[in-house]
Amino acid sequence: MLLATLPSPAQQVSAEFPYLQARPRRMQPPRYEASAFAGLDDFNGDGITNAENPASGASCDREDNGRGRRPQDQRGKFSQNLGNSRSTKQRASGIAVKAAQEAKKANDDMSSAVKIASQKIKLEYAEKAAAAAKAAEAVLAGKAQVLEQLELEVREAELVVQEESQALCTAESNSQLAGKAASQAKEGLKLILQGLKVARENFESSEQVSNGCKQSLADKTNLLEAAQKRVTLLLRQLTEARNDFTKTKQAAQRAACAANEAKERINRQRRRTYRKRWITEE
């Protein structure tokens, strides 16, 4: 991931050295306009003025060359100026040679700069690769810890799955037992409902019997009350009869006593009479 975000060496060279662009062809000597040869009397033997800095002059000529001038116009003006003055041609040849030398030097400088930039980029790439390797090692260590943690969690999950499987088997057996118990309870409920129906019928019959018994009890209670009243009446009559019997017995006893007395009196009377007759007959 880190290596994918790193810029390429060409991109880093372009960013650090914008004036050094890789070209597919070799650099050509710059073309100069005819106006550039005005005042060539001040040039020395090398074709460079004594009043100006050679490097700055060459760089200025190169900058004027790169400002969008068309090569055909430059070539026509340059040929016209060469035809007008031989000395100007010689001086221009010296300037061209100097410009070619500076261009070659610039090309060499660009190659060395590219090498330096390439080494710098390689060093940066090496540092970034080392940092990426350290980061990858850290990530690998983290992944190893995560893997170890995941393995531990997997083992724990397998144990949990095993326990849950056992619990599921137990739950299935309990469910089967519960189903059997539910079937038995349903059958028992049917029997209870049948028994309840029979009990309700028996209750209704018993209620009817109870009502009959209550009616019979009421009738018997009435009869008992009537019998009690009759007994009370008979007891009163019996008491009266006993009292009357006692009185009658006493009267009979008195009558018997009176009869006995009368009988004794009659017997005494008869004995007296018989004695008198016997005495008289004698």
Residue 153 within any structural domain of the chain: no
Compute CA distances 185 → 24, 207, 237, whole Å: 98, 31, 72
Say which residue the tokens 């004695």 belong to. 275
List all residues 6 or more positions away from 6 whose beta carbon is below 8 Å from its beta carbon.
125, 128
Task: State the Cα–Cα distance between residues 203 and 149, nearest whole angstrom.
Answer: 74
Residue 156 within any structural domain of the chain: no
Please state the φ and ψ torsions of residue 49, each to the nearest 5 degrees.
-70, 150
Q: Residue 29 — very low, low, confident or very high, per pLDDT cuts 50/70/90?
A: very low
Instruction: Give exposure, 15-30, as e/b (b: 16+ Cβ within 10 Å).
Output: eeeeebeeeeeeeebb
* Domain final residue pick, 148, 171, 191: 148
Task: State the Cα–Cα distance between residues 68 and 208, nearest whole angstrom.
Answer: 132
Residue 242 within any structural domain of the chain: yes
Residue 46 lies in domain: 3-148
Q: Residue 15 — very low, low, confident or very high, per pLDDT cuts 50/70/90?
A: low
Q: Residue 237 — very low, low, confident or very high, per pLDDT cuts 50/70/90?
A: very high
Query: Secondary structure of 60-92 in the HEC alphabet?
Result: HHHHHHCCCCCHHHHHHHHHHHHHHCHHHHHHH
Cβ atoms of residues 42 and 51 within 8 Å: yes
Residues across the chain: 282
Cβ atoms of residues 29 and 103 within 8 Å: yes
**Of 29-43, 75-89, 233-247, where does the model show the most confidence?**
233-247
Same domain, 109 and 228: no
Look at residue 140 and give its three-state secondary structure. helix
Strand partners of residue 49: 43
> What is the per-residue pLDDT for 66?
43
Is the pLDDT at 41 greater than 70? The verdict is no
Q: List, for residues 268-278, the tens digit of each pLDDT value.
A: 888 888 777 77
Prediction pTM value: 0.28
Residue 49 within any structural domain of the chain: yes
Q: How many separate domains does the chain show?
A: 2
Same domain, 244 and 134: no
Residue 32 within any structural domain of the chain: yes
Residue 200 within any structural domain of the chain: no
Task: State the Cα–Cα distance between residues 184 and 178, nearest whole angstrom.
Answer: 10
**To the nearest whole number, what is the mean pLDDT of the chain?**
72
Look at residue 49 and give its three-state secondary structure. strand
- Of 49, 30, 40, 29, give the one whose Cα is nearest residue 84: 40
Instruction: Give the mean pLDDT of 73-98.
Output: 59
Residue 15 within any structural domain of the chain: yes
Same domain, 142 and 225: no
